[in-house]
Amino acid sequence: MTEVDKLRSALQPHLQAVPTGRTDVPSLSAEKARKGLRLSDRGRALMRATSVDGEDRSSRLFELAALLREAKASEDATFVLIRSSIWNKFSGRDDEVERLWEAVERSRDDGSGLGEQRAKYSVGRGEPELLADFLDRPIAPPSWLVKGILQEAGLHFVAAPKKCYKSTFVTDLAFSLVSGNDFLNDMSVEQQASVLMIQEENPESLQQLRLRAMSRAKGVDAHPTAPVANGSNGSYICDFSSVPFWQVNKSGLKLCYEEDRQTIENWVRRKHVEVLILDPLYILAGCEIMYGKDIMEILDWWLHLKHDLGVTVVVVHHMKKLPEDLPEDIAQLMFGSSYLANAYDGAVLLMPRYAQGSMVIEKVHAVRDYRAWREGAFDFSIFLEEDGSEYIVQVDQGQKHVHPLVKLVQKQPGITVKDAALKLGVSEAAVKQSAKRHEVVRRRETPKYDEGGGRPRTGLWPPQS
């Protein structure tokens, strides 16, 4: 047994996929639970049955639960419907509620297309659809949770080089989603959403410090005595019981393992999670992400979460060292297989602009879409006091990105390639390449007499409008 196997064996008791002892009863009518369900003939027959006719009620109860889940019924709807069926052998017992929840959980692994056989998810289900029918079918357009940043039921990456406060960025995002408070104190939350954040890199003490500081900065009370829209002192008070923020820290989960993905999915289903944040991928993946064959199973699961469950997935990821001049497709700077760079619905790239301290990044440049990064860029600064006593965010929204070379030649028109390279700290070849890409004008001129005269030299001038 390898050391990794020993570690997983020690962790397994803490990673049970199906927690027991659930005793809550959904406030959902059977009529509402049935609404919109497309059950198979077998499922409808089990629902309509009025006599057990010598059948094994336990087997039929679990079969009905599995068919309901296969028809994409929620856990609450499944509970209500199996409870109202003739197959509810626990009716009237003191432990009825708990045993029915066990039936709901166990239905995942009964071989009905759920559990172990769910690797294909919803692929292959249904029939081909005529173009006319597809065009006539009402399909809601994508909607935003945070406009321009986070799309509902989308796959998003927050990527950056090391020490660019990726975790702080997504923690602020999570806090904003559950509280309804502006993201980064600037961008409005279009829809509140419950969040599960699985954080594997930073110690719990740092995560707690961040959340306490953000709570104070945003004026949000995480456990108010009475949930109201606005506090008497002007602070915003949210009801975290209806829009919860769930935390999992240092769990040892690895996405390459089916049982660990199932653990997370069970949490998502049971707690009605709408946004899942995975921080960071290089620890959580548990496999070699440089090759497509190793990452495809994880990508397939992410697509299942967004398509089948409507979950928004946010993945925190690292980038390679930024080159002297950013490529046009900066998604390719993310570590790992090219599949990662092509799989997202939306993305944010964080790039440091100025020096960073141990707990402070004075300025971070954020890009909201790799493919339109110049138009979608904005600047923000983060200050987090080491003891968590202060958390300050300032955003310069909508600032169009201007390349450093363009800024330099705007201030010093005619500057030589050599001097520009020295000032920017890059090679002369990089300056020439950037000049060509950003339409900086290069022309050879003789210096004026009052500039000292001399031989002709090649200077750089701003792009022509």
Using one digit for the tens of pLDDT, what is the confidence trace for 277-298? 999 999 999 988 877 777 888 9
**3-class state of residue 324 by DSSP:** coil
Mean pLDDT of 26-33: 86
Q: What is the pLDDT of residue 441?
A: 87
What whole-number distance in Å separates Cα of residue 80 and Cα of residue 389?
47
In the predicted structure, residue 120 carries a pLDDT above the cut 50: no
Q: What is the pLDDT of residue 239?
A: 55
Of the chain, the end-to-end C-alpha distance in Å amounts to 67
27 falls in which pLDDT band (50, 70, 90)?
confident
Within a 10 A sphere around the Cβ of 138, how many other Cβ atoms?
4
CA 380 to chain centre: 20
Q: What is the pLDDT of residue 83?
A: 92
Q: What's the DSSP call for residue 47?
A: H
What whole-number distance in Å separates Cα of residue 356 and Cα of residue 229?
37
| pLDDT over 70 percentage in the chain | 75
CA proximity to 196, closest of 285, 264, 284:
264
Pairwise pLDDT comparison (10 vs 420), residue with the higher score: 420
- Locate tokens 């109201």: which residue? 228
In the predicted structure, residue 20 carries a pLDDT above the cut 60: no
Using one digit for the tens of pLDDT, what is the confidence trace for 306-325? 988 999 999 999 887 766 66
331 falls in which pLDDT band (50, 70, 90)?
low
What whole-number distance in Å separates Cα of residue 369 and Cα of residue 374?
9
Residues in the chain: 465
What whole-number distance in Å separates Cα of residue 462 and Cα of residue 465?
9
Pairwise pLDDT comparison (121 vs 361), residue with the higher score: 121
Interstrand relation of 155-160 and 346-352 (parallel, antiparallel or unpaired)? parallel
Angle at 152 between CA 151 and CA 153, to 5 degrees: 115
Using one digit for the tens of pLDDT, what is the confidence trace for 149-167? 888 999 999 988 887 888 8
Pairwise pLDDT comparison (270 vs 378), residue with the higher score: 270
Amino acid at 311: V
Q: What is the pLDDT of residue 274?
A: 94
4 falls in which pLDDT band (50, 70, 90)?
very low
446's CB contacts (< 8 A; 6+ apart) are: 453, 454, 455, 456, 457
Give the DSSP H/E element, type plus range, for residue 408: helix 404-411
Alpha carbon of 441 to those of 117, 289, 430, 433, 438: distances in Å?
A: 61, 42, 15, 12, 9
In the predicted structure, residue 302 carries a pLDDT above the cut 90: yes
Cis amide prior to 128 (ω within 30 degrees): no
Pairwise pLDDT comparison (342 vs 88), residue with the higher score: 88
Using one digit for the tens of pLDDT, what is the confidence trace for 348-395? 888 776 433 333 444 455 555 544 444 466 777 777 777 777 788 777
Using one digit for the tens of pLDDT, what is the confidence trace for 40-88? 888 888 898 988 887 878 778 888 988 888 888 888 899 999 999 999 9
Angle at 236 between CA 235 and CA 241, to 5 degrees: 135
DSSP string, 226-249: S--SB-TTS-EE--TTTS-EEEEE
Predicted model pTM = 0.59
Alpha carbon of 409 to those of 43, 402, 444, 449, 456: distances in Å?
A: 71, 12, 15, 21, 18
Pairwise pLDDT comparison (96 vs 313), residue with the higher score: 313
What whole-number distance in Å separates Cα of residue 66 and Cα of residue 41?
14
Q: Domains in the chain, start-ordered, CATH in brackets?
A: 16-120 (1.10.1240), 144-396 (3.40.50.300), 404-461 (1.10.10)
447 falls in which pLDDT band (50, 70, 90)?
low
- Locate tokens 């002007």: which residue? 234
> Which residues is 279 bridged to in the sheet?
199
User: H helices within 163-291, ranges in order?
Assistant: 166-179, 204-218, 258-270, 281-284
> What is the CB-side half-sphere exposure of residue 271 using CA atoms within 13 A?
24
Q: Mean pLDDT across the chain, nearest whole number?
A: 77
Q: What is the pLDDT of residue 111?
A: 40
Say if residues 79 and 61 touch (Cβ distance below 8 Å): no
Alpha carbon of 463 to those of 92, 259, 293: distances in Å?
A: 80, 56, 45
What whole-number distance in Å separates Cα of residue 72 and Cα of residue 310?
11
